[in-house]
Amino acid sequence: MNSLKLRKIGNSLGVILPTEVLGHLQVAEGDEIFAVSTPRGIQLSRMSPSEAEDLEIAERLMARHRPVLDLLAK
């Protein structure tokens, strides 16, 4: 991945995200992204931390109840 340069945008600083990064995040102009602090640094995500937590809970529940969900899908 290439390095990103900070640029002055009004009274703030910002970065221009390359198309490759935007594609990986699956975002476009006008979308909202979240910067989350992790032990390894800052992570960019298109999901809010609370949405990510809700998704993890749902995935654990679906994994635990997979046989029942498979029967209901038939």
Between 11 and 73, residue with greater pLDDT: 11
Mean pLDDT for the stretch of residues 12-17: 92
Is 0.85 topped by the overall pTM?
A: no
pLDDT for the residue numbered 1: 60
| pLDDT of residue 70 exceeding 90 | no
Structure tokens at 56: 């993890």
Residue the block writes with tokens 């994994």: 63
Mean pLDDT for the stretch of residues 52-59: 77
Mean pLDDT for the stretch of residues 40-62: 80
Mean pLDDT for the stretch of residues 45-71: 81
How many C-alpha atoms does 38 have within 13 Å on its Cβ side?
10
